Amino acid sequence: MPVLRRMTVFIFSLLFLTDCWSAQQTVQGPRYGNSPDKPAKPIYRLAIHPLHNPKKLAATYLPLVDFLNKHVDGVSFQLEASRDYAAYEVKIRAREAELLLPNPWQTLEAIKQGYNVIATAGDAVDFRGIFLVRKESSIKSPDDIKGKVVSYPSPTALAATILPQFYLHTHGVNVNRDIDSRYVGSQESSIMSVFLRQSDAGATWPPPWRAFQKEHPKEAAQMRVLWETQTLVNNSVMVRNDVPHHLRDRIRDLLVGLQYTEEGRMLLSGMETARFHLATDADYAPVRKFIQRFERDIRHVELKE
């Protein structure tokens, strides 16, 4: 019995010491005051589709995120970039981000996942594809592009790929057989492919081309715009359907109001965006009709690996 008693005392002593050690590990440094800890602000991520490479996208859109943080109380906004279009589209389908700035085709996909349009980012006249060639290029008509290499950012880039391929289709070029289509990952890469003579023509759209002209004037001076496509409604701004209505309305009003202040106009200029317009899901119905025709006549938007 004495042995058993000693073992019992030892075990209880060990448990007591363990509890003391655990308590010491839990409390890391002194805490004073009668008020409870202030809860962290909820984080809302703004996921921008790959208009630019991640570094360029951050430089372009971080000022907008800072603006939202400055003018919206009680929450914190963060910018989220994606390495490419496919990675961005995975995030849409997983409902990872609370806020989106997708292209019009991605907008249709996001509507299926419970996102709603609150605005368009830019004028419709700016949402068109352009073909770039070097100034010495001999390409003049669509027939001349047959047998040539054409670069695009991504199969799902609406303005910079889908509209240009539709243009070629309506001008007698079979984009699946008559040309060598190369998807190079970003707008800048499509432009640089032309400059470096890796492609005979490159497709992009006006905002990245304007930015390239400002940042690389010597290189841009060696290229020219060959053709322009039709226009469609511009990129959207969307919110996930679990974002509170008052917050959704505040974000929408701030974006639409940017054009009316000096601070806002500077932000718009940095994004190569004229203004934000009020919009709803219904404004993207023409895009759905266009995509249906494109997929019927040319190819599926999402190419299978």
Mean pLDDT on 57-67? 96
- Can you give the pLDDT at residue 52? 85
- If asked whether residues 149 and 187 sit together in one domain, one would say yes
Query: Is the model's pLDDT at 25 over the cut of 50?
Result: no
* Together in a domain, 120 and 239: yes
Residue 194 lies in a domain: yes
Written as one letter, the residue type at 74 is: G
- Regarding whether 215 and 142 lie in a shared domain, the answer is yes
Report the pLDDT value the prediction gives residue 305, as an integer from 0 to 100.
52
| Residue 40: predicted pLDDT | 84
Could you give the CA distance from residue 254 to residue 68 in angstroms, rounded to a whole number? 8
> CA-CA distance, 190 to 115, in Å (whole number)?
30
Give exposure, 176-185, as e/b (b: 16+ Cβ within 10 Å).
Answer: eebbebbbbb
SS3 state of residue 17 = helix
pTM as predicted: 0.84
Same domain, yes or no: 133 and 222? yes
Q: Give the pLDDT confidence of 186-239 residue by residue, as tens digits.
A: 999 999 999 999 999 999 999 999 999 999 999 999 999 999 999 999 999 999
pLDDT tens string 169-189:
999 999 999 999 999 999 999
Of 231, 248, 280, at which residue does a domain stop? 231
Domain of 176, CATH number, reads 3.40.190.10
> Looking at per-residue confidence, does 295 or 9 come out higher?
295
Strands 115-121 and 201-204: unpaired
Q: Is residue 11 part of a domain?
A: no
Number of folded domains that form the chain: 2
Residue 28 is assigned to a structural domain of this protein:
no
The residue range of the domain holding 56 is 43-124+234-295
Is residue 17 assigned to a domain?
A: no
Cβ atoms of 189 and 51 closer than 8 Å = no
Domain limit, last residue, from 177, 204, 231: 231
